[in-house]
Chains A and B, each alone.
Chain A
Amino acid sequence: MLKSLRKYGFIYSLFIKNSLMSQMEYRVNFLMGLLVETSYLFAKFLYVIIVYEAGLTLDGVPIDAILLFIGTYTLMTGIYWGLFAINFVQIPEHVRTGSLDILLTKPISLQFMMTLRNVDFGLAIPNVLGGVTMVVVGWRRLGLPADAASIGGFIFFLVLGLFVTYTLFLIPQLLSFWFIQIAAVNDISNGLFELNNMPMMIYSKWIQRIGIFIIPVLLITNFSPLFVLDRLHPGLFLWVILSPILLLGITRWIWSKAIRNYNSSGG
């Protein structure tokens, strides 16, 4: 197990290195990618401006907490697009063109290869920097303790959110093994991710319940800020920890069904 983990860790470091080398080869594209994401960052920041100008507080949470929520969402957007989505969007193409065949012959996990092969630094950097800056500014303005327990807890829920993101947004792409055109599904799943653009408290109770328990998209970025703000309901702790494991199991099950359904159409 440990040997296997080390092997995959090493392979992933090679993936990162290769991605960085190929992006440095096309530096202008890389810089333009940074520019695109910076302009999206500007669009996200408009929400912060509105909340501050309106003096909006939700459920008694101080106004500066909005920086924690939108900052965590921005940070997660960078990680999601930089590490995962850039690979996920290529899955339908691999299935449709039959280029999956060659990947099937590789002596490592196909899911690992297909879902983590590329890392896009241009998409990740502005969002990660912008997100971390917002979180740090929000943290300081709120006077939250910068101790190991708070920071560790924040990162712990962020990692759990990362697992939820990986599993929840991989599932729609796997539909491409059964259907040719899944652009509509992509639109909807991107829209679902965007629900985290605002703290979940702005939504009605029913939407919050659906977003936590049925399609747990609200678990992705809300729980890190809620934890440090001491607003996380103890009853939800177990669910937040269990749901990524449950989703991972579901994704693995769908993945194996999908691969069995693959018939190498373009091969």
Chain B
Amino acid sequence: MNNKFAVSFSLGIQNSMEYRFNFFMGFASLFFPIFIQLFLWKAVYSHASNMNLYGYTYQQMIVYTIVAALISRLVATGLEYDINHDIKSGGLNKYLVRPIGYFPYKICVYLGGKVLSFAITLILLLGVVLFMVYYFKAPISVSRILVFGVVLMLAVVLNFMISFSVSAIAFWLTDVSYFFHVTALLIQIFSGGIFPLDIFGATWLAVFDYLPFKYTIYMPVNVINGKLTLLQALHVIELQLLWIGLLLLLTRYIWTVAIKKYIAVGG
């Protein structure tokens, strides 16, 4: 019976519509970081003798800055705090009697909640793409845009898996809100959400190859700004699927172990 998933999905859509104002302001809060970085890159590139910094042309870096900010907004979950609340307040109890498991419920609500966000981000990204095509004369094919759409959707799912894995720590730690602040910021940095990962140098880039984070922001941006060939972009999809699969196994294992610690506070 797939109806329960559809109901959970529509619950997510309703939640996101309820807090429309916050949602739009979330996009407005992207303005200042983008603004500062655009001026930073303008100063850096106008000063640099080499027009290719960290392997990016000025145009590619501008696109990176704007698109990375939009994608980090799109893939952000805030899921850790919800799950922590469910664990600490005994909210997990109700899932024992519901006809849907905790993980499927959360992912359906999360994906439903992302529908509006996805639509708005796509419109904004379309604006960026049109800007690239007309202003930077960047050759962006329809197939690249389609591949980008797939990469973006998988990035949303992958980041959900990362957040779900991280949130299990709430079973072990008493007060985790600070911990989640740190993990969220570090994950954003290591995903390339603030600056391209290339600024960390070759050694760290090699390390990031063995972590899932770069497939949520860094790689999707490089698909649309033309740094990756179409073939490389397809390879990104394979690796995203691989990471989603691995994290699915990992979360299953962690949650099976963690749930044994759960003491159903709140009765």
Q: Which B residues lie within 8 Å of A204 (CB)?
A: 39
A195 touches B32 (CB 8 A): yes
B199 touches A56 (CB 8 A): no
Q: How far is the CA of A203 from the CA of B32 in the complex (A)?
A: 12
Q: Which A residues lie within 8 Å of B186 (CB)?
A: 39
Q: Which A residues lie within 8 Å of B189 (CB)?
A: 42-43, 46
Q: Which A residues lie within 8 Å of B33 (CB)?
A: 191, 194
Q: Which A residues lie within 8 Å of B29 (CB)?
A: 187-188, 190-191
Complex: chain A residue closest to B182, CB-CB: A39
- Checking A35, A51, A187 against B178 with a beta-carbon cut-off of 8 angstroms, the contacting residue is A35
The yes or no answer to B179 lying at the interface (CB within 8 A) is yes
- Checking A46, A55, A181, A188 against B195 with a beta-carbon cut-off of 8 angstroms, the contacting residue is A46
Q: Which A residues lie within 8 Å of B32 (CB)?
A: 188, 190-192, 194-195
- Checking B39, B53, B178 against A202 with a beta-carbon cut-off of 8 angstroms, the contacting residue is B39
Taking beta carbons and an 8 Å cutoff, which residues of B are in contact with A? 21-22, 25, 28-29, 31-33, 35-36, 39-40, 42-44, 47-48, 53, 174-175, 178-179, 181-182, 185-186, 189, 194-195, 199
Task: Take A184-B21, A195-B32, A198-B39 as given contacts and tell me if A54 and B179 are in contact as well, using a CB distance cutoff of 8 Å.
Answer: no
Q: How far is the CA of A56 from the CA of B39 in the complex (A)?
A: 12
Quote the shortest CB–CB distance from A130 to chain B (angstroms).
15
The yes or no answer to A239 lying at the interface (CB within 8 A) is no
Chain A CB within 10 Å — which of B31, B43, B174, B185 has the most?
B43
The yes or no answer to A97 lying at the interface (CB within 8 A) is no
Task: Take A50-B199, A56-B43, A191-B31 as given contacts and tell me if A28 and B175 are in contact as well, using a CB distance cutoff of 8 Å.
Answer: yes
- Checking B36, B53, B175 against A195 with a beta-carbon cut-off of 8 angstroms, the contacting residue is B36
The yes or no answer to A24 lying at the interface (CB within 8 A) is no
Task: Take A50-B195, A50-B199, A55-B47 as given contacts and tell me if A29 and B175 are in contact as well, using a CB distance cutoff of 8 Å.
Answer: yes
A29 touches B40 (CB 8 A): no
A43 touches B28 (CB 8 A): no
A-B contacts, 9 of them at CB < 8 A, read: A32-B182, A33-B178, A36-B185, A46-B194, A46-B195, A54-B44, A56-B47, A188-B32, A198-B39
Task: Take A188-B28, A195-B32, A198-B39 as given contacts and tell me if A54 and B185 are in contact as well, using a CB distance cutoff of 8 Å.
Answer: no
Q: Within residues 182 to 207 of chain A, which ones have a CB less than 8 A from any CB in chain B? A: 183-184, 187-188, 190-192, 194-195, 197-198, 202-204
Main secondary structure of the interface of B (DSSP, over half): helix
Main secondary structure of the interface of A (DSSP, over half): helix
Complex: chain B residue closest to A35, CB-CB: B182
Q: Which A residues lie within 8 Å of B43 (CB)?
A: 56, 58, 202
Q: How far is the CA of A184 from the CA of B21 in the complex (A)?
A: 9
A54 touches B178 (CB 8 A): no
The yes or no answer to A47 lying at the interface (CB within 8 A) is yes
Q: Which A residues lie within 8 Å of B36 (CB)?
A: 194-195, 197-198
Q: Within residues 34 to 60 of chain A, which ones have a CB less than 8 A from any CB in chain B? A: 35-36, 39-40, 42-43, 46-47, 49-51, 53-58
B185 touches A40 (CB 8 A): yes
Complex: chain A residue closest to B50, CB-CB: A54
Complex: chain A residue closest to B195, CB-CB: A46
- Checking B35, B48, B182 against A54 with a beta-carbon cut-off of 8 angstroms, the contacting residue is B48
Complex: chain B residue closest to A38, CB-CB: B182
Complex: chain A residue closest to B189, CB-CB: A43
